[in-house]
Structure 1
């Protein structure tokens, strides 16, 4: 495989050197941009530059990210000019107060947000470029959004929403408490959450008091139903709760795509473990699916383009335990024989590799690819941070940055977990 990497990989210094990759994307409606950690500066910066080009040159409609819907609505409203009270991008990013705050409250994302705002000011099309969070974690925040809107508009669905809210209220906004009660004691709010989703979906077109309020209500109701399922399941099955989460992200994506119409095109930012096709990894052996697989299965081959990212060594922002303060950690040289070590060994420079019908077969050997999460212990990474992968099938392209640097958070201490 080293010989094939040397043959096909191309060095790059800036996004302008990635023209062949941009061209290869063609008319795809779904472009998935990965990352091998949630705390690396270059992943955010380069994805931002690629996203700008896709928006300007190929007319992409919105960016969807691995984050909470309510928090990202602050960005979406800011860049579209819906919220005239917020004047500063750092104030917008204060909405990201759930651990790990650094994932979106960071210096690297501020430039993209300001660029999107300026672009939308000059954009004469009916629908301006959006920014949305499609993750499942915001159970209580999404219910708050629903109840607040229905109270403000005096809507008839308020009774259904308050019934659902009352069911969850005894758990004091604590996901873990609900998970234990629902997963082990069968004391759950399944019916209330599903009734709320059905009611909101049935009447969503009546929610028009604010821009995009129908979409906002639909996705928040979807989060409520799927988050209930996720937290109830997480205490009994890691693989099934993973599937619930990734299926939710695709459901949320589909809702946004419907909102934008038949010509909608989306750029998706998520970890490699979500966007790299699960069928090309050992995830399939555990019955797990992910966003990349589900989108590929539901769409034509040329409608989906997946780009993985990785590094050989450097620094990263992460925590040693869930909910703990972040640290700047050293990323050790990639494990011998791994994908990243071969990319480095072929030539220790930044490079990209496009998998085509002509060369994919040369990259079908299963090989370990590094994956760093928000919790990371570098000294133990060889025991669990490498995903066995068929790289030519997992991605359509791969961007390798030989030496990377830690993200630059705006918030120095974690707040809500």
Structure 2
């Protein structure tokens, strides 16, 4: 019987969730992936496991593949600090395409729950943080806004430094194109100077809220510096923009852990991101052929034995995705998995929904390299093999895999689920 395979836990078994929590053990960094950015069940299961990690294992933070300033508003809400009166309001800063990635029903419900949890257990609060790289201008604005409240002279210095970016408006691609080829001088020195000035300020403020606000500002300054480099490298045709982005995400997780430790916490962090960022790149075709590295690899290397990676996968169903970057999200049919793929092999087990321990004895079908599907915010079924599959070695990518055989599309909060074209990532067109 397939269900008797060692390490296979059907979700119909009430003990499956307990078994997964036991398998995670004492890991301090739990990375929960997703095979698409538009699948309801991935968001639902990720939130459910995260709730247990916070409630039962004392996890202190969720670090999401989201922009730092947008997530900071959510963080203030879940910690009851100021401003918004509902989770949907707190998610209001997520305006960049694709809005549905964070402005959706499962995230709203999780944020609502987290606010309530923190109110019930004020001595064991957990925060919500963004670790992505795209908010160049919003992060610069946030640095200036913070300094205006604590040091107007420093705010003026920040404005002067960041004015270097003004000739390009709010278009980081224009900045990157002009500076990549030496048409204009880059603004890197100004961004470095601003970060260094913030770092010279004390991080030992007696008031934890003041310490948090300084930390948020410093992270925004670091993001502005890394985003400046990122957009400049985009137009040089190099492959290391992916690595630069994932290095920034790993550094942000590390900085968050250090900040929480300085506040007397024992940091335990859940990371939410796409499988392509969390499944160890050393076990994937982009890693082998393009020297691509990723967040999951970096965290395993930095915290060996303390990092647990859970991937999520499906065979077929529906997904909320766009035809192209900046286009509205649509409910699309997900084609049945290609023959010979990981997803097809999981479907052929005939178990339905389950999680699989990848550190035990596995069937031969999962031992070698197989095609694996990755859908970002764009889904192109007509070119699915070229656009959404590459070879990977499943047991080396993840510690465990959650498989949901038939899935449904994510439900966005906004009727218009498109968004501003915003800042174009190097993950276009797959949008992972």
Tell me if TM exceeds 0.5.
yes
- Runs of 4+ aligned structure 1 residues displaced above 6 Å come to 2-5, 206-209
**1:348 offset after TM fit, Å?**
5.0
Mind listing any 5+ residue stretches in structure 2 that lack a counterpart? 423-432
Match of 1:318 among 306, 316, 321: 321
Deviation at 1:184, TM superposition (A): 2.4
**8 Å contact kept, 2:6–2:362:** no
Contact 2:203 2:211 in 1 (8 A): no
1:275 aligned residue: 278
Report what 1:150 is aligned to. 147
Once the two structures are TM-superposed, the CA of residue 136 in structure 1 deviates from its matched residue by 0.5
Query: 1:131-146 residue pairs with structure 2 within 5 A?
Result: 131-146=128-143
Q: Aligned-pair distance for 1:130?
A: 0.2
RMSD (CA atoms): 2.1
**For residues 78-117 of structure 1, what are the alpha-carbon distances to aligned partners after superposition, in whole Å with 9 as ceiling and x for unaligned?**
010111x311221112211111000000011111111101
Q: Is the contact between residue 29 and residue 266 of structure 1 (CA under 8 Å) also seen in structure 2?
A: yes
- Quote the Cα distance in structure 1 between the aligned partners of 2:142 and 2:372: 39
Give the corresponding residue for 1:30: 29
- Aligned with residue 86 of structure 1, among 77, 80, 84: 84
Taking the TM superposition and a 5 Å limit, the aligned residue runs for 1:150-189 are: 150-187=147-184, 188-189=186-187
TM-score by length of 1: 0.94
Match of 1:200 in 2: 198
- Relative distance call for 1:343 and 1:361 in structure 2 (3 A) is closer
2:3–2:10 CA contact under 8 A, matched in 1: no
Q: Counterpart of 2:233?
A: 233
Q: Within 1, Cα distance between the matches of 2:165 and 2:304?
A: 40
| DSSP-derived class of the 2:26 partner | coil
Residue equivalent to 1:295 = 299
Q: Which residue of 2 aligns with 1:254?
A: 254
Q: Within the alignment, does 1:380 sit opposite 2:377 as a pair?
A: no
How far apart are the structure 1 equivalents of 2:73 and 2:349?
43
- The equivalent of 1:213 in structure 2 is 213
Corresponding pairs, count: 413
Q: TM-score, normalised by structure 2?
A: 0.91
User: After superposition, what is the alpha-carbon deviation per residue over 1:191-250, rounded to whole angstroms, capped at 9, x for unaligned?
Assistant: 111111111112153886746102101110110010001111112235211011000001
| Equivalence for 1:71 | 70
CA drift at 1:3? 7.6
Q: Distance in 2 between matches of 1:231 and 1:360?
A: 44
Q: Distance in 1 between matches of 2:360 and 2:195?
A: 43
Structure 2 CA distance for aligned equivalents of residues 278 and 5 of structure 1: 30
Find the aligned partners of 2:409 and 2:365 in 1 and give their Cα distance.
33
The alignment status of 1:335 with 2:335, answered yes or no, reads: no
Listed as ranges, the gaps of 5+ residues in structure 1 are: none
